[in-house]
A and B are shown apart, each in its own frame.
Chain A
Amino acid sequence: MIKKINNFFSFILTKFIKIYKFLLSPFFPNACHYDPTCSEYFMQSLKEFGFIKGCFKGILRILRCHPIKFLGGGFGYDPVIKNKNK
């Protein structure tokens, strides 16, 4: 049951991110430092880790996506590490 609810939330959030990618993000310059981009990363980690952990990982990624190095900013290739417990 909990898993179902989890999946449902993940589904909804994934849709929102897709809408964002489709309608909003073209208005902004391509800013993401990473590959895959933050939104792709977010969706992948939702799929890989479920709603709560996936959100957590996704938000952490966005928080890393800025130019100030000593505050954790970075760039480059940074894929979602596959969940081994799955």
Chain B
Amino acid sequence: MENKNVIIAVLLSTAILIGWSMYFENPDEAQRKRLEIQGKTETQTNIQKPETPQTGKAVPTKAISRSDALKESDRVFIENSNLSGSISLRGALIDDIILKNYRETLDKSSKPIVVLSPKKSEDGYFVESGWATTKSDIKVPDNNSVWQIREGKKLTPSSPVTLEWNNREGVVFSKKIEVDDKYLFKITETIRNEKSKTIELFHYSQITKNTKPNTENFYILHEGLIGVVDKNLKEETYSSIEEEKKTYTGKSGWFGITDKYWMSAIIPESGKSFKGEYSFANSYKANFIISEPTIANPQKSTSNTLKIFIGAKEVYPIDNYTEKEKIDRFDLSIDWGWFYFITKPLFFVIDYIFKIVGNFGIAIIILTLLVRILFFPLNNYSFKSMAKMKVLQPEMLRIKELYKDDMKRTQQEMMALYKREKVNPLSGCLPILVQIPIFFAVYKMLFVTLEMRHAPFFGWIKDLSAADPTTIFNLFGLIPWNPPSFLMIGVWPILMGITMYFQMKLNPTPPDPIQAKIFAFFPLIMTVMLATFPSGLVVYWTVSNVLTMAQQYYIIKKTTVKTV
């Protein structure tokens, strides 16, 4: 009894916690307030040490619009078949990147997705790279240095651009910027030393993001700072970085800031050890600095390379970069989770189906069906043996009672009973436990896939990655009223609840009354919870329920056990 109380207490408190955070606490507002306070108390330090390549000296006092910010400096334009944007000649920052092929909303004429924005704009988000000094005896370019174009006009896959900045003290800095046809930039940074003494500089790169985006805030998906250091994934949320900065040292890897679908990442030259850092001081920063100095002898030049990824986390390009560009474990940027060895193959299956049928919703249904068929033999047998065992229950109890004190005898008698009744249960706990991660993997895969974004299904479902837009509280659109978001319980979640209710009806009612009560409420709780989830997941869940039900019904009908 005590245990049941504990369980109920846990359930109730979880429900209250979820409910509270859903309806009462607006995380963005709380966040903004916190930011304001921090912005006031934080004193900006700018140390010219290689440990802290902080070039962003002052944070703009007043944010201006994106288009005004873009006009503030001369620009080199970037264009390939997936990206368009520009590089600011002031500071040589990549601070304007738009994903041409993805739109903000379902409307085809809506704005394309903006990834990077100039630092003076409200949602400033940009990538820089450059050099840091230890002794500050060499003037290095900073965020306000105005660069000159030496070569090229517009950055395209076929025409790289070279920028140059002369410090007027005998050192010339240049950047050769290349882009591929997807999302990868390569920057070769050269120092030309025209002085008579050797100079040592440390190469660094940094991503800065002024504001925290509206995160999905869902525990199965990582959004925030991400990176790999010596094959280990390093993920930190925005809020954990606000509290404490994180530093890493390693020999291979990358650092970045990721959204659910979009990411920017910086990748140090391979084979060089580096120190990476996630930090927060008015803006979120992910950076690295190469530990060994780059040495330029008198009258010589030397260079360092860097790769920058800015774009959509599409599975195939990311895998391609991991292999061909040898970016260490870059595939981890897509959050496949613990069961990635199941999740990822599942993706390739659903992608294959999607390419054949052309509708992601149907692809989900076919995949669910396939998984069910795969496990059908197992479940079939287990249902069968379950039915048989149920019939034999009294006999078993009798044997147990009869030979209470003789364990060996009980065992022998039981075995004899099984043999006589030809009970050969064919599933078992192991196959059941193996299935759990697979169903979780299907769920996770659907949650992370970019393909589901803006993918239509039938009727009112125009975007499988968004919640069902209908709601029962205005009779699915019959009453001209827009209920608050927590009352948005659509058709599919309700279907899910109903199918779940009937599916559970087919199972024997749990013997314990409290347990039975909890189970009676389960479909309702799940309906309300799933109402806010991507509709693709709700479709998956509903179909899955129907299939389980059909299977169970079929077996119950088929299995007739003869009693002795």
Contacts and interface: CB of A to CB of B under 8 A. Distances in A.
A26 to B, nearest CB: 5
A19 B425 contact: no
A72 B483 CA distance: 58
Contacts of B428: 31-33, 65-67, 73, 75
Contact of B431 (A66, A76, A79): A66
Contacts of A79: 407
B519 A76 contact: no
B386 A35 contact: no
Interface string B399-428: 000000001001100110010000111111
Contact of A30 (B381, B386, B396, B410): B386
A70 interface: no
B423 A67 contact: no
A65 B426 CA distance: 10
B414 A62 contact: no
A47 interface: no
Interface string B238-259: 0000000000000000000000
Given A22-B515, A29-B383, A77-B410, A67 B510 contact: no
Given A38-B429, A66-B430, A77 B507 contact: no
Contacts of A12: none
B3 interface: yes
Contacts of B432: 28, 31
Contacts of A52: none
Given A30-B386, A31-B382, A76 B414 contact: yes
A5 interface: no
B414 A31 contact: no
B381 A76 contact: no
A1 interface: no
A33, A37, A63: most-surrounded residue (chain B CB, <10 A): A33
B424, B430, B507, B519: most-surrounded residue (chain A CB, <10 A): B430
Nearest to B433: A62
20 contacts: A26-B507, A29-B379, A29-B382, A29-B427, A29-B552, A30-B389, A31-B385, A32-B429, A33-B425, A33-B429, A35-B396, A38-B429, A66-B427, A66-B431, A67-B431, A73-B428, A75-B423, A75-B428, A76-B415, A78-B411
Interface of A: 15, 18-19, 22-23, 26-33, 35, 37-38, 62-63, 65-67, 73, 75-79
Complex A-B, nearest 3 residue pairs according to Cβ-Cβ distance, in ascending order? A77-B414, A65-B429, A66-B428
Interface of B: 3-4, 6-7, 10, 379, 381-383, 385-386, 389, 396, 407, 410-411, 414-415, 418, 423-433, 504, 507, 510, 515, 518-519, 552
Given A26-B515, A32-B429, 10 more contacts: A15-B3, A30-B382, A33-B428, A65-B429, A65-B430, A75-B418, A75-B425, A77-B411, A77-B415, A78-B411
